[in-house]
Structure 1
Amino acid sequence: MSEWGKGFWAIILVCVTWGLSPIYYRELAGVPVLEVLAHRTLWSLVFFVALLAWQGRLGEFWQAATGPHAPRVALAALLVSANWGLFIWSVQAGHVVQSSLGYYIFPLVTVALGLVVFGERLSLAQGLAVMIALAAVVILTIGLGVAPWISLGLAITMGLYGMVKKSLPLGPVLSVACEVALLAPLALGWLALQALGWLPQGWLHPLAFGASARISGLLVFSGVITALPLVLFAYATRRIELTTVGLMFYLNPTLQFLCAVLIFGEPFTRWHMIAFAMIWGALALYSGASLRQSRPPRRVP
């Protein structure tokens, strides 16, 4: 198989894993969200430390986590933790349709953030795509009587996370390893407070970890399904074009959407149908513009 083919199948595996992850986290519906998040963080760290030790990069890892980039790494860590926590909650609470919408509009939110924060100029197609996406959110808000806060929260946290990551001279594996390392004390502290019963009444729950082999195994493996796709993502981006990666990314929210409607039986109203159709149209417009920009200019004979 060619290097391009290896990268292509790697990104497919990444997006399928992300897209089907609601099925996995639905199995942990009886576990408090913050306990799931804490275990996801800690077992991801175990995976990354083992990988970096095998690669002989622990010194590089320590320097990145404690060096001058640490404040930005910490900010990225807080943003990705908020995104993970909101996603886990949305799955457990039966809002996977909203989470899929969030990951659909994430690229368009990133474009809008680039305009607002960095003053980046938008092409006509990009501007139209952002306006259509905004109109879709407004229509969904009017139709349902409430804004799709989960979708917006997921898209905005991912967009801000991407902006911070853009300023870090670290690869995806090393940067996420540093992020979960900085989050690890918070995760351990939360689990300790939960185990000791030192939490407010509404937050008191017995630890799920250790209650059964099945739940404990799922919590441990949550680190693997978090970390391994990121390793494969880094592998893929070195072998295929970023435009291909961007297009394949839409497989993730598409599979989430199918899980929500076909497996979990979540409601999909006519307002959802209108909003999703508009978002899909906006993404087609945006993707077409991105593909045209990525093509090398034709040489004049």
Structure 2
Amino acid sequence: MDNDLNVTYFITFAGHVEVDKYRYLYFVMMLTVYILIICSNSTIVYLIWNHQNLHEPMYIFIAALLINSVLFSTGIYPKLLIDFLSDRQIISYSTCLFQLYAYYTLASSEFLLLAAMSYDRYVSICKPLQYQTIMTKTNVNVLLFVAWLVPVCQGVVTVVLSAKKKLCAFTLKGIMCNSTFQTLHCVRSTMLNIYGLVVLVNMVICPTIFVLFTYTRIFIITYRSCREVRRKAAQTCLPHLIVLINFSCLLVYDVLLLRMGTEFPKIVRFIMTLQLLMYHPLFNPIIYGLKMKEIYKHLKIFFRKMF
């Protein structure tokens, strides 16, 4: 393999654990989870779309977050399912770059969407009289547009910088193209590392600090109010906070994997990656479907009609 133009690079995945022995078990398990992810997230999105009383900014942001989860999973699961039924787990160089791009773009969008949701809750609880004038349909659309556009633009730069680097290795330690892709480069790119840290600050750290700040303000203000106000604030804010903490903890592993050069046993890498791919996309519809009162009410009616 050389670095000439029009040459397709095939990168073998070394992150699978005894794939030959458990390939059909892996396939059935991952296919089942993928179907559950699509069905559970799509059901909540359908309910929000179909019921007029859910056409509020808070629920629109929830729908956007769930759509983001489906897109995130779709960028990874089809390739994984093919891997489990194949004798060799390989991926073309261009497909690997696309998966890397989709992975970090959609992960970044999740943090920005959670930040937009926290801002909506802050305005609703702390500035209720100004809510209708601040959270207009236009402003909501702008927040959604920014949450998806900014990561898309930043992701392009990451992929372009990665594509220009020469490869000296062709075996990935993981089961998909994520931060481990940079370990294939002959020389670690200082520019790519610096840019990656800038993106990390912009897309992860700043939104997380913003969410924590807004929710802290909310809890301080509601603490001084009556019990009913505190209960309502907790009911709407805690699900968002739980989702943020859950996703942040899973991505910490991904950062450690490359930035700190931390080595993990193969089985640990495999389990942690599956946590990110399986647990989180299923966690979102469960937490919002059960903890958001209005969505839960429509969900019960929906299942009664179905069964």
**TM-score relative to the length of structure 1:** 0.26
Q: Which has the higher contact order (CA 8 A, sep 6+)?
A: 1
- Structure ID, larger Rg: 2
TM-score where L is the length of structure 2: 0.26
